[in-house]
Amino acid sequence: MIYNPNTFSNINEVKTTHLDLNFIVDFKCKILDAVVTLKLVTLVDNVSKIILDTCYLNIKSVSCCGAQLEHNLADITEKFSSALHIQLNDKLSANTKFDLIINYCTSAVQWLEPIFYSQTSEKNHPYLFIQCQAIHARSLAPCQDTPAFKLSYHASVQVPQPLRALISAVELVGNLCCLEICRTEKFIEIGEKFLTLYEWNKYELLVLPASFPYGGMENPCLTFVTPTLLAGDRSLVDVVSHEIPHSWMGNLEHFWLNEGWTVSIERKIMGRLHGEATAEFDAIIGWRALEQDIELFGESNVLTALTPKLKVVDPDDSFSSVPYKKGCLVTCSWNVKNEFDHTLAKACHELAERWHRARDNQVFDEFSPDDIKIFTPEQTMVFLERLFEFSPLPFPVIEALINFIVSWMLAIPKYDLDGNKPLYRLLNQTKNGSELAKKTFRENKSFYHPIAVAMIEKDILK
C-alpha cells in the first residue's frame, strides 16, 4: 500500500501513466488557459471516483469517453490546497485504462513582471516559469501530485510573439538563450564512468532571472540555474555537478534517496576533477551544515529524520540539508566519524584566527586580498563562518575586512533561498535586528519569488 500524506489523490485505487498538457499563456491577465488529458489505469476493482490534487485551479469541465462527469472542489487547506472529486459514471474493474479530459485555467504559477516588480533583468518582457517541487505541480494541472508514480508527458504551449516557450524534454521547442557554462560535458563524462551512459541525448542549462529562488532545479534535459552562478570567473559553476547526477538518480520516492545519491556522485565528480581533498572539503562543509540544521530543528524533531512524517507539514517547511548530507552518509557510507582531509579547511581557519588576533589593531597592512586569491568560494565562506564563531569583531576590523573581501562579496548569491532565508533569520535573531529584518524584507518582498516569500515570512513574521 502506498503511503503519501501530502496528496489527496486515491493513489491506491488509480494510477496516472501519461499527461497530455495544452496551455495558452495570457500574460496580460496572468492566466494559463489549459486542457489536460490524464491517461489512467485502475489498480483495484469497483473504482467509482477519482480524486486529484489542485491548487487554486478554476475547473471548467471534466469528461470521460465524451460524457461529462460530475465533480466538485473541496475546501482549500492551508498546507495541501484542495482535492478535486470526480464521480465516474460506472464502476471500473482493476486494470481498466481510461482517459479524463479536464478543461481549466490557473494563475497560481510563477509570473514575473518586467518593470513594476523589477523581477526580470532587461525589464522589457514578462516572464513565466513553472516550479513543481515539492508539491506545486497541483498549481499547474489537476494531477496525482506524488513521487509514487512515474509517468510520461507531452506539452503544447502557446505564447505571444516575440516570446518563446521551453519545456523539459528531449525535443525542446524554441530558441534556448543561455550562457555556456564550462565543464558541463566533463561532469557528464565523469558521471558516465561511475554510472551508465547518459541517456537523455542532450543537457541544456537555462539561466533564469535573479528572482529564481534556488541554486538549480534538475529538470530532465533542461536544468534551471540561478544567474548568481555567473560570477565572471567561472568559480561557481561546479554547482552544476550536483544537478547533472539527477539525470541518473531521477526523483525517487524518498527525497533522501534522490538527494543522498546525487550528493554522493557529485562528490565523486569533484574528487575526480579537482582531487580528493576537494571532495573531502565538501564533506566537511556538508557535515557542518547538517549539524546546524539539526540544531535549528532540534535533535528530536521529526524533520531531522531521513523519512520524516509530513502528515501535517508542508514539504517546503521540511527543506534542509538533512536529506542531502545525511542521505549521502547513508547511501555511500561516507566518513561518518567526521575524519576528513582538513587541508583546505585548515587554510580557512588559520586566516580567520589571524583576523581574530588582530581585533585590537588600527592598521591592517598584514592582510591582503591575495590571502584569499587562491581560495575557492567555498573556502571563503568557511573562512567567514569561522569568524562568526569568535566574539564579535570591533567596527574598524569589520570595515577593514569588508574592504579585504569586497571583490569576492560581489559574487555572493543575493536572491536564492540558500542565501536569503538564513540571512533574514539570523538578522531577525540579533539584538536590535528584528525590525531591520522585517523592514528590509517588506521593502524587497515584491522582487522575491512566491515560494521564497512564503518561507521567509514563516521565519520572521510568524
Residues 367, 355: contact at Cβ < 8 Å?
yes
The maximal CA–CA distance of the chain, rounded, in angstroms, is 84
Among the listed residues 243, 266, 280, 378, the single catalytic one is 243
291 is in an annotated binding site: no
246 is in an annotated binding site: yes
Q: Which three cell numbers stand for residue 28?
A: 496580460
Residues 6+ positions from 221 with CB-CB distance below 8 Å: 168, 169, 170, 172, 200, 201, 202, 203, 204
Q: Which amino acid makes up residue 183?
A: R
Residues 6+ positions from 173 with CB-CB distance below 8 Å: 157, 164, 165, 166, 167
Helix/strand/coil for 10? coil
Catalytic: 13? no
**DSSP letter (8 states) at residue 326:** I
Residues 101, 63: contact at Cβ < 8 Å?
yes
356 is in an annotated binding site: no
Question: Parallel, antiparallel, or unpaired: how do β-strands 152-158 and 14-26 relate?
Answer: parallel
What is the side-by-side order of every strand in the sheet holding 14-26? 67-68, 57-64, 97-106, 31-42, 14-26, 152-158
Residues 276, 415: contact at Cβ < 8 Å?
no
Residues 2, 12: contact at Cβ < 8 Å?
yes
| Cα distances (angstroms) measured from residue 273 to each of 210, 232, 261, 350 | 29, 20, 18, 26
Residues 421, 455: contact at Cβ < 8 Å?
yes
Residues 207, 228: contact at Cβ < 8 Å?
no
Residues 308, 302: contact at Cβ < 8 Å?
yes
Among the listed residues 104, 203, 214, 324, the single catalytic one is 324
Q: Which three cell numbers stand for residue 80?
A: 495541501
Catalytic: 291? no
CA distance 186 to 68: 53
For residue 112, give the H/E element and its range.
Answer: strand 110-112
Binding site for Zn(2+), residues? 242, 246, 259
Catalytic residues: 243, 324
Annotated binding site: 242, 246, 259
